[in-house]
Structure 1
């Protein structure tokens, strides 16, 4: 089934439109032919979000989204190293595209109605969603206390969630009798799990995958309670149609060939 670009044309959101109108008129992102003439693709990425984009022990950028950025450089410019990777904060992921500071953003950006007023989104390269992580029992532990293997096992348990996160209504809907405890950070959530005052932590599966990589004594439950499409952020406007089409065609080929699924599995993402 083809990707329908019209899916991301939505109603006006006044606050975000105001932000867009505040952008200087002289700012313009590079079109495909300009990128090709330059010989470099400039991509905003994360450098602290394992396994999507992070720095390894040698300081090199690694992860699924880094692989995608390099593969896009190969698609557009013929060389995987013809890419400039620019780490970006979450708050700047859209602005750097709008302001023409980068050509694309590949930094765990979820396609939403409000964001679609400012930028275009590629077809999804990964479907994220709410999941859970629990501490695996040690050999000496009372394993009955840790008998959490599926969603129903959390029905009346205590679950840590980041305060104010979109995870909260999702968990409440699926587990109305669970006790939710708000935390300010992932470290605070881990502290509750270590102390045994929380049985699980709920967050996006991509984030929890990085958690398990860093703390192998934890494990993820094989569930996904919501669907969040992670997409490449592309400048908005008819002049960027060629770039938009080339990015979408590339992702479609990767999905069909199995390359994308292989990279997702390599990085341990569910």
Structure 2
């Protein structure tokens, strides 16, 4: 969850303001322009530009499993990477016709606005502030914080047991100014222990110095995938936020096309691909969409 990102990246930008020159052109001089010159120019969609270029350019990261990270072979992998390759496959019938631009979280919006990338697929949280600067696709994951415990040998394996423990339980997490606030939203009486890294928190859990490890649910599920049977999900998550891709504003053709690909991956022709990614990265078995009336419109 990217809640500590620079607040400046969330400030409104004047993307839709009309400059003085534009205002002047809309004034009296336009009344005397030839009829053909007054016709609005149809904006060229990025979809057409990408097709002619022959490859998709995607902004993403490389250090945050299970979303985007380098495997042992040095190649990018993760849920975001799978989605980017699905877009390339849908464009060119070739998942490899994608160029990845690696960037930090603070570069996501600037890289779109300056046309450095065609789309950002980088675990981007949807917020009203960001929606003033970019256009979001439909969400592909609902993130939140959750609790992970030892499957064997620990005192607790369920959220209700932790809650009943009251002040006798200790929750560990990464050092963060919001750590205690986040823990106490779910467990008001719990003790909180902060650690400098995920590895240090995990070591404390394995050593039973803490009763549960609070982390983003996706990160927690990834850890559980790496050590099957060792850890267990508490079964409770809170502080939800949506992850979506983002595109530069003002191109409804491109946005609609990306949304079509994502929607049909979740509900239609590419469901098997999408479900396999969810299983691989999060250990989540997605239910097969029901045949017949589209339930998303029910």
> Per the shorter chain, which TM-score range?
0.7 to 0.9
Question: Gapped runs of 5+ residues in structure 1?
Answer: 1-12, 138-142
Q: Which has the larger radius of gyration?
A: 2
Is 2:242 the counterpart of 1:234? Answer: no
The answer to whether the Cα contact below 8 Å between 2:218 and 2:282 also exists between their aligned partners in 1 is no
Distance 2:217 2:57 in 1: 27
The correspondence for 1:183, drawn from 195, 203, 209, is 195
**CA distance in 2 between partners of 1:30 and 1:57 (Å):** 38
Cα deviation, 1:162-205, whole Å, max 9, x if unaligned, reads: 33366654431221121122333212312322332211111111
Going from structure 1 to structure 2, the CA distance change for 1:95 and 1:45 (only over 3 Å counts) comes to same
Is 2:229 the counterpart of 1:207? no
Check conservation: 1:46, 1:107, Cα contact below 8 A: yes
Q: 2: distance between equivalents of 1:246 and 1:168?
A: 42
2:113 equivalent to 1:102:
no
Residue matched to 1:39: 54
Alignment-derived partner of residue 236 in structure 2 = 223
- What corresponds to 2:289 in structure 1? none
> SS state of the match for residue 238, structure 2?
coil
Number of aligned residues = 243
* TM, length-normalised to structure 2: 0.72
Residue of structure 1 equivalent to 2:206: 194
TM-score (norm 1): 0.79
Q: Measure, in 2, the Cα distance between the counterparts of 1:163 and 1:19.
A: 31
Residue 268 (1) aligns with residue 258 (2): no
Note the C-alpha offset of 1:45. 2.0
- Cα pair distance change 1:242/1:230, threshold 3 Å: same
Superposition deviation, residue 66 in structure 1: 1.1
CA contact 1:50–1:209 (8 Å) conserved in 2? no
Q: Aligned residue for 2:162?
A: 154
Does the 8 Å contact 1:167/1:203 carry over to 2?
no
Which of 265, 274, 290 is residue 254 of structure 1 equivalent to? 265
Deviates more, 1:123-132 or 1:85-94: 85-94
CA-to-aligned-CA distance 1:88-143 (integer Å, 9 cap, x gap):
22232332222221111111111112211211110011112111122343xxxxx3
Matched residues in 2 for 1:162 and 1:20: separation? 36
Q: Which runs of 4+ in 1 moved over 4 A?
A: 18-21, 165-168
Q: Distance in 2 between matches of 1:18 and 1:66?
A: 29
Give the gaps of 5 or more residues in structure 2: 1-6, 20-43, 285-298
Equivalent residues of 2:151, 2:231 under 8 A apart: yes
Answer whether contact 2:9 2:106 (CA < 8 A) is retained: no
The answer on whether the counterparts of 2:125 and 2:244 sit within 8 Å (CA) in structure 1 is yes
Residue 142 (structure 2) aligns with: 127
